[in-house]
Structure 1
Amino acid sequence: MRTKSRVIAGVVAATLLAQLTACGSIFYPDRRGQIEGKIDPLIAGADAIGILFFVIPGLIAFAVDFATGAIYLPAGQSAQVDPQQLKQLVGADGQVDPLALKALIETSTGHQLPLDDPRLIQHSGSSEQLAAYGLRPAA
């Protein structure tokens, strides 16, 4: 009977420990100790999914990530591209050079995207979306 109670206590302890760890602390332990910066949307999204399924552990995950600083991107990195830089990629005919776009994303965010992948599905934007970025649609 003593072994059974130790197993139950171990399972309860492991469950509580798993609830106290957060996604940023697990995925990027080297980010711990940061005080401020831009929030990593991947970590924030993973913590938000925790809120959807389990409210209290999700809130604890957010609190732990903010307290440890693991939710912040490292200094000098961003998760988005400046719209002004995107304007430079649009040609006179309204087409975007995929190689230049790939290079811009890599230099801005540090991530390599497989834009030349044959499975990639490209969608055209609407006139309203282009106007939001100060671009004029070209035929």
Structure 2
Amino acid sequence: MRIPQRLIGGAVAAALVTQLTACGTLFWPDRRGQIEGRIDPVVAALDAIGILFYVIPGLIAFGVDFATGAIYLNDGKTAQVSPEKLQPAVGRDGKVDNLKLQAILESELGRSLPLDDPRLIQHKGSVEQLAMYGLKPAA
């Protein structure tokens, strides 16, 4: 009799954990960091199902997906800029000047990117990543 109770408890715990992590963030982590776009109906439906079963975790899932941008569909466009062209935006102390970076990206990509947007997720790099691109750390 004790084993079925553990299985049911484990299933309920797993369902709650998956709802707390948010569907879009869990299933499509590469979408995180998007600021706007079309809403993915699959992610919205999965989050809505979470609201049907567990109201608070479902609302949290929607909030997390909107906050991280994982609920938005990818527009299918990608862009790359060579590291050498980005070097003028990096100061001697290793800090990035957002105004210079924005000007470089706008001239290279032809698009204005909102680098001062508070929803923008910035990732910190490492010395190994710089070496991979053939760059030497200045600091």
Q: TM-score, normalised by structure 1?
A: 0.42
Q: Could you state the TM-score of these two structures normalised by the residue count of structure 2?
A: 0.42
